[in-house]
Structure 1
């Protein structure tokens, strides 16, 4: 199975093999995003040593498994290492042997998968690893040591932001993001699914661009059948995936679920301090949780220029989590995708919100369609709900070239028809934004409509029309 996209990430890994120094590389990202697959496809046949930790294991079990990997790599010691210091000493002997496997550029590739799970409570794994790297890793220039894991919060705290003996030892960090629409389309084309762009977009709106989920899909079934089988049936394979996702990527602390569940009820996000007040969370716990969720790519922070005191907003932008909190939680659980479609209002509302999230994740494609790829921008949703003359804007693109785009986003099954009333509503949104923000930038209305606009009536005030096709660029 060939690797889809990830060209830049693979290029970074290959570059580490070509340098004249040892490289300590951290590959991280959320569960199911394809981290292990990327490393395997890049270096799989050249591993000098590879070990994978198992979640919820103890040190004794992990050392026993590590011993087996040492034996498979040429170590002749018959006894299980008594601790991680001995384990790394034996690994060093393997790497120094004449029979160790080398990469095309003469490096020794070491891969520790699910690295955080090696560091069990009261284990000496982390200090033993630090001692090994600070001595063996920096003494010679022949290693590419790759650590990988889904426990993003642990990796950030203990590896990326380590302030102890590993401070500044990391030479490369590679964060693996979910697929874009273009990459998802490549994936399904490679597997001969023959799905339309609309079907692929709706798939992305449910599963969130995670290749592991896509790989579970059956090309002989429709999109709806796949959703039912994987998410909605009584014994669905991914029925409890959200709980596993949060525990594997973050921790079992309830604060993460509480934050995400609350955010799922706010279409345009909520002020950061208001969210904390709603949850009644302690400062330290709340700040750490928000930072971890941001690092995982589940939420974003944004500021709406011109607002008094310029407060930070928090918004949930992960499609899979949004679908979960809307339709898979115990309070609102669906039993089939058809059940959702039959509820026309609910289905239309979800598709609209999910498509707005998809557009927010493809800002670069939108900027490309507008011809402003190189222009610095600030992007955010905007509303002044609660005021006498209120308005909601799906997406504001504030540009450094003194233009602000007011974007209206629509996901419909056919070309969207604009009538006089709708045109007046668009102009009202523009005028309210101008009055409330007192912006001096030129305001241009943009329609982002999956299937474009029907006819030309009432479109004279629309500067650009962007279709679903252009989000795949």
Structure 2
């Protein structure tokens, strides 16, 4: 079974609802391969929980399958002989089971059950209001289609106001993703994160006996590779008008960051682009980033690392891949990736490192807000405000995906100090942090300055990967 990494907070959330003793109606959702099923399997161990996976089959076939599996779970031979013919019967049966004891009922891929039975949400609402809410039932709905799950949460949904808990399961961060390749160098583990992000379903496909680019070639850059068409499948499941969303994602992944640039490169008319960007933001595929302080024009980025890699390279090199020129494609991708993608990955990792170091009490700040800042040609990669103090304490940080000498590092710290003077805030104290890939020598630093490298990424990743 694939590695299970750092879902302590999510397991605790499930356990809290299980122990409440009250009737619970929960929704857990997230993009495909993010680890929803594995999370619930881990949590289910030792508990009286029935787990059912809905399939894309007609309603009656689905109910027959559910009846057989539930009959085996409960030992009810009559249910095996006389299967359910409606979801109302299923829910009333559950209500009877849960009158005196805690029982869990998990429906994975719930969107398929709802598609086969258009009235399912309304039926669940009615039975919840009249019977289930007064029992000890624990119902967990799981969805892989983000668009469907967001619809369940909307005010128009029959379940609006009934759900007792909602979790959108996010990919792992760069520190936790390192757990999948402990035998690799820290740099290559971080590069892997830059390719597939923190999605466990992709990380689990990596063969640690191969190097990074052998894995990337095998999984994405060969004819018929496992994930060669993954982005297309993801978008087709979730969206209509896939062609326009495809064009928008390709434009942003290729470097278009402003609204006008995206409209120009994608060919989507500016007057309708906002609709596509809004949907992609709601799905967590695109992020709109604004300066953390002051005012400035927002920038867009592909928030899903796997899709960012896919849309930057697969369309561009598709013909060469299909012709079997994978080795040449790998070399071209590798050069561009190191120069143009990894600096952004390192910036993202910097935020994760600062968060972890702050938890450890290593930086003297408790970040209440973090993000980049830019204004009139000046940029700072990360500004963290500690607003637990008045006036706030400030941490400013710069990420350089490069090997710097002591002299170069000192120069970068001086530049950072100068830029920080232009921030529209008067802090009680400012801490300066420089993150470099490697550091050659020991630069002279002041008491309010810190320098971190991949060695710190490795140290903090080990903490993230440790059990308990």
| TM-score when normalising by structure 1 | 0.79
Tell me how many residue pairs correspond in the alignment: 439
- The Cα of 1:201 is off from its aligned counterpart by 1.3
Q: What does residue 358 of structure 1 align with?
A: 349
Q: Which residue of 1 is the match for residue 228 of structure 2?
A: 239
1:395 to 382, 403, 420: 382
- SS of 2:315 mapped into structure 1: coil
The aligned residue for residue 405 of structure 2 is: 417
Q: Check if 1:170 corresponds to 2:163.
A: yes
* Residues 20 and 141 in structure 1, CA contact (< 8 A), matched pair in contact too: no
**Residue by residue, what CA displacement relative to the aligned partner does 1:233-268 show, whole Å, maximum 9, x if unpaired?**
11211111112223345556445334322322347x
1:465 is paired with a residue of what secondary structure? strand
Whether the 8 Å CA contact 1:53–1:115 is kept in 2: the answer is yes
* CA positional deviation for 1:207: 1.0
State the distance in 2 between where 1:337 and 1:111 align. 47
TM-aligned CA distance change 1:398 to 1:254, over 3 Å: farther
* Distance in 2 between residues matched to 1:394 and 1:47, nearest whole Å: 48
When residues 438 and 39 of structure 1 are mapped into structure 2, their CA distance, relative to the original with a 3 A threshold, is closer
| Corresponding position of 2:64 | 67
1:465 partnered with 2:451: yes
CA contact (8 A) 1:22 1:137 kept: yes
Distance 1:27 1:378 in 2: 27
Counterpart for residue 376 of structure 1? 368
CA contact (8 A) 2:95 2:132 kept: no
- Of the three residues 280, 300, 306, the one matched with 1:314 is 300
Aligned CA-pair RMSD: 3.6
Give CA deviations for 1:204-229 in whole Å, capped at 9, x if unaligned. Answer: 11110111112222233222222111
Q: What's 1:30 paired with?
A: 31
In the TM superposition, 1:262-301 aligns within 5 A as: 262-266=251-255, 269-270=257-258, 279-280=268-269, 286-287=274-275, 289-301=276-288
In the alignment, the residues of structure 2 paired with residue 375 and residue 207 of structure 1 have an alpha-carbon distance, to the nearest angstrom, of 28
- Structure 2: distance between partners of 1:399 and 1:161: 34
Q: Deviation of residue 188 (structure 1)?
A: 4.0
Asked if 1 retains the 8 angstrom alpha-carbon contact of 2:397 and 2:432, the reply is yes
- Paired position in structure 1 for 2:92: 92
Match of 1:348 among 321, 339, 350: 339
1:52-111 Cα offsets, whole Å, 9 max, x none, are 233xx36xx243023122123222454673xxxx233145336635xx9x9xx9411111
Do 1:70 and 1:91's aligned partners in 2 also have CA atoms closer than 8 Å?
no
Structure 2 CA distance for aligned equivalents of residues 363 and 252 of structure 1: 40
Contact 1:188–1:195 at 8 Å: present in 2 too?
yes
Q: How does 1:58-137 map to 2 (within 5 A)?
A: 61-74=58-71, 75-76=79-80, 78=82, 81=85, 86-93=86-93, 96=96, 106-120=101-115, 123-137=118-132
Per-residue deviation at 1:11?
1.5
